[in-house]
Structure 1
Amino acid sequence: MVLHIPACFIPRRSNSSQNVSNLEEMPTHLRAFTKRELKKAMKVTKDTIIVDGRFGNICKAVVKSLQHPKHHIEVAVRCGRRDMTYKKYATQVKVLGAINHPNLIRLIGYVEDNVQMLVYEHVPNNSVFHYLHSCDTTPLSWVMRLKVAHDVACGLAYLHEDSNFQVTLGDFSSANILLDENWNAKLTDIGVAPNKEDEDYCQQRTTVMQYAAQYEAPECYMTGNLTHMCKVWSYGLFLYELITSRRPRDFNRPEGESMLEEWVKPYVKTRNFIKIIDPRLKVYSIESVKKLSNIAMCCLATNPKKRPKMIEVLHMVSEIIASISTTIEYPKKDDHPIKDNTEKWSFRALFRFK
């Protein structure tokens, strides 16, 4: 199987913004579920939580297929907040149902009853966090990490630059980035951006304080302001998480190593990139590590005005991938598709061997 990664994926910019109040009916492609149907479906998987996000937990469920009634399919169900009005819930359904992007989790249904539950596609290959930090699994190969960086940048660039709706990403974290059956990364925890005059906006600003210790930009923690530049900072920290396989905040590590962005600084300054690369990686492009690290540092600028826009970040990440190869040859179907194997990568000669 050969996967073609474009040298640059550029979302089309839109100058107009669609008013959600003009959406009089639910999108026709969405499936209407009943409360009883979903409650029963969630019991099958024992309410297994897939994502724990600011816009509500997402749990795995098994429902009947409409195309093949005797068959069952896996879905992901999000239970809305109890304080959300039905009008806001309906707006969530209308807006999220209209969004279609390969790197954003897709809404496939909702509950008709007086219950606020959203049904999403099920993304089967776990989270990026799982492959970076779990001891009992094969770590992501360097090529797959580059692809994840590209996919996530695509999703964020769409949300920041191209979406016709005022949507926002709740909690940005590797645990909320899922991998689908083709190992494409998808962002989760997406919701309608609250109005500044709305009570939800004040509540979300307060909630930022609870999550700031992980991925939020310094100014979000200090002021509670939620801007696109905050997510650019979060993305920069995530790039270092991809490079190092270290958690953004890990207070079990020795003093001086608990804050990821502070730990990498001296090594980046001396260009000693081998010291920060995940030691489990045996095959990687040292030049691409340098370039990805430089992008991360730009995103982590203390002054939000000095950070690049996500569309610019996407250009830079795409150039890294293009500089290595325009095609990636994956292992055969019976092998693990994220495994490093020098016999199966078409551009292995460009890699540095440790």
Structure 2
Amino acid sequence: MNCFNIFNSKTKKKSKSSPELREQQQTQSSKQATRLVKSTGSISSPRSIPELYREKGHNLKKFSFSELRIATNNFNRMLKIGEGGFGSVYKGSIKPVSGEGDPLVVAIKKLNRNSLQGHKEWLAEVQFLGVVDHPNLVKLLGYCSADGERGIQRLLVYEYMPNKSLEAHLFGRALPPIPWITRLKILLSAAEGLTYLHEGLEIQVIFRDFKSSNVLLDENFNAKLSDFGLAREGPQGDRSHVSTMPVGTYGYAAPEYVETGHLKSNSDLWSFGVVLYEILTGRRAIDRNLPQSEQKLIEWVKQYPADSKRFRMIMDPRLNNQYPLDTARKVAKLADSCLKKNPEERPPMSRIVEILQDAIRESGNGNISEITSVAPSPLPEPSTRRAVRYIEYWRHEVFFVSRGCFRDHARCESQFLFIIL
């Protein structure tokens, strides 16, 4: 999905080394004071991200363009693992920072020189990821900033996430479905990452583009938030919000933010609620391939309230009913609380973490620390995958018929009989 808006190219010409610093306020809110005590042990004026970066940014390695070109075999297409408005992402290998040991596998994001998102978002990623430090945020190892005959080169080097994104597993048919307990663990780790951004730093950070494609999965299916190009410092002092041009992804952005440009941390809560329903249903936030009444996920699920007998009908058929229904209802109610029209009624991320921990305990019947993520079942052998996808497709069609969607009933019924025979 593409962003519904991007940075205006007519930005004010100020220093390119850091975003504009906000005016410091004399009065500190109680939440800010709590964050300051957590991060520094004392109460003082919060420092901005650029100021914190000047203190911590030396931990990032500055790569030369030639190093990254070698790491990706001259940006070989066969090593491309992602693409977006910013440019392309390649899998590569570099020497360990210590200079000893085996090559380190990394992901290298190469900014498209014609990208409209440009230098400002690249700089935001460098500064935010150069400051934050949390197991549920993707780790930035270094960057490359080179200007030469070939033009401006802007690259970022991240830790490699072998299990791709949550989006790839939920909606791609090339990967096996994620089991219920693993879905909950992914949600929990993503929520812990957002909680850290909202409450665990000296200054509040609003992610602003939380979506399933920005939730990456490591070898153990632990989630890490990625793509901080749109991240923004939260309001300071007695300010209730940050006024900014609305940016984000259609289907995920909070409606009050889109309408007014007023950005708060609870704008991220709305986006989290959308992803909660994506996890439950296996459907995208916006899917133009579905009947018109079902294209907008949040509107469609309203027909199947969590307490109703019809609720089970929204659950992802690829789960094969392997989930506790009562816990699924609880997760749906949590999503509904994140999707409150009044942003002040949405729960804080720390409360969401607690509810998800309870849901995991209920699903695992034990201590949360003893529950490990269950990897998806392996895919069938290549020779049988087409047949499996074929059967899954018609199972999906019959599933819609059972819900009262008779648009292709006759064709679906005859084909289903053919598969049985």
Task: Return the TM-score normalized by structure 1.
Answer: 0.78
SS of structure 1 residue aligned to 2:302:
helix
SS of structure 1 residue aligned to 2:329:
helix
Report the Cα distance in structure 2 between the residues aligned to 1:22 and 1:148, rounded to whole angstroms: 29
Match of 1:3 in 2: none
Distance 1:35 1:222, change over 3 A: same
SS of structure 2 residue aligned to 1:59:
strand
Confirm or deny: 8 A CA contact 2:164 2:216 kept in the other structure.
yes
Q: Deviation of residue 302 (structure 1)?
A: 0.9
Report the Cα distance in structure 2 between the residues aligned to 1:39 and 1:206, rounded to whole angstroms: 35
Confirm or deny: 8 A CA contact 1:273 1:289 kept in the other structure.
no
Q: Which one is further off, 61-70 or 132-141?
A: 61-70
Confirm or deny: 8 A CA contact 2:182 2:373 kept in the other structure.
no
Match of 2:95 in 1: 65
Match of 2:371 in 1: 328
Confirm or deny: 8 A CA contact 2:257 2:263 kept in the other structure.
yes
AA of the residue aligned to 2:195: A
More relative contact order in 1 or in 2 (CA 8 Å, sep 6+)? 1
Confirm or deny: 8 A CA contact 2:125 2:227 kept in the other structure.
no
Match of 1:37 in 2: 67
Match of 1:300 in 2: 339
Superposed, which structure 2 residues align to 1:78-97 within 5 Å?
A: 78-79=109-110, 84=119, 89=123, 93-97=126-130
Q: 1:110 aligns with which of 128, 143, 152?
A: 143
Match of 2:26 in 1: none
Report the Cα distance in structure 2 between the residues aligned to 1:85 and 1:301, rounded to whole angstroms: 32
Match of 1:158 in 2: 196
Match of 1:8 in 2: none
Report the Cα distance in structure 1 between the residues aligned to 2:166 and 2:125, rounded to whole angstroms: 26
Q: Is it true that 1:98 corresponds to 2:131 in the alignment?
A: yes
AA of the residue aligned to 1:72: P
Q: 1:263 aligns with which of 295, 300, 303?
A: 300
Confirm or deny: 8 A CA contact 2:170 2:177 kept in the other structure.
yes
Confirm or deny: 8 A CA contact 1:62 1:75 kept in the other structure.
yes
Q: Which runs of 5+ in 1 are unaligned?
A: 1-11, 332-336, 341-354
Q: Percent same amino acid at aligned positions?
A: 32
In the comparison of the two structures, how many residue pairs are matched? 312
Match of 1:48 in 2: 80
Q: Which one is further off, 136-145 or 57-66?
A: 57-66
Q: Deviations over 1:208-254 (max 9, x none)?
A: 4xx2x321111122223332111101101110100000111112111
Q: Is it true that 1:18 corresponds to 2:47 in the alignment?
A: yes
Report the Cα distance in structure 2 between the residues aligned to 1:128 and 1:190, rounded to whole angstroms: 17
Report the Cα distance in structure 2 between the residues aligned to 1:85 and 1:141, rounded to whole angstroms: 39
Distance 1:159 1:270, change over 3 A: same
Confirm or deny: 8 A CA contact 2:166 2:215 kept in the other structure.
yes
Confirm or deny: 8 A CA contact 1:64 1:71 kept in the other structure.
no
Match of 2:221 in 1: 183
Match of 1:207 in 2: 247
SS of structure 2 residue aligned to 1:190:
coil
Q: Deviation of residue 133 (structure 1)?
A: 0.8
Who wins on radius of gyration, i.e. which is larger? 2
Q: Is it true that 1:121 corresponds to 2:159 in the alignment?
A: yes
Distance 1:271 1:156, change over 3 A: farther
Confirm or deny: 8 A CA contact 1:167 1:190 kept in the other structure.
no
Confirm or deny: 8 A CA contact 1:215 1:248 kept in the other structure.
yes
Confirm or deny: 8 A CA contact 1:107 1:118 kept in the other structure.
yes
Distance 1:134 1:258, change over 3 A: same
Q: Is it true that 1:142 corresponds to 2:180 in the alignment?
A: yes
Match of 1:9 in 2: none
Report the Cα distance in structure 2 between the residues aligned to 1:218 and 1:299, rounded to whole angstroms: 12
Match of 2:416 in 1: none
AA of the residue aligned to 1:62: G
Match of 1:233 in 2: 270
Q: Which one is further off, 38-47 or 261-270?
A: 38-47
Q: Deviation of residue 68 (structure 1)?
A: 6.0
Distance 1:24 1:228, change over 3 A: closer
Report the Cα distance in structure 2 between the residues aligned to 1:295 and 1:195, rounded to whole angstroms: 24
Match of 1:272 in 2: 310
Q: Which one is further off, 286-295 or 156-165?
A: 156-165
Distance 1:110 1:151, change over 3 A: same
Q: Deviations over 1:282-311 (max 9, x none)?
A: 211111101000000000111111111111
Distance 1:13 1:186, change over 3 A: farther
Q: Is it true that 1:246 corresponds to 2:307 in the alignment?
A: no
Confirm or deny: 8 A CA contact 2:234 2:264 kept in the other structure.
no
Q: Deviation of residue 61 (structure 1)?
A: 3.5
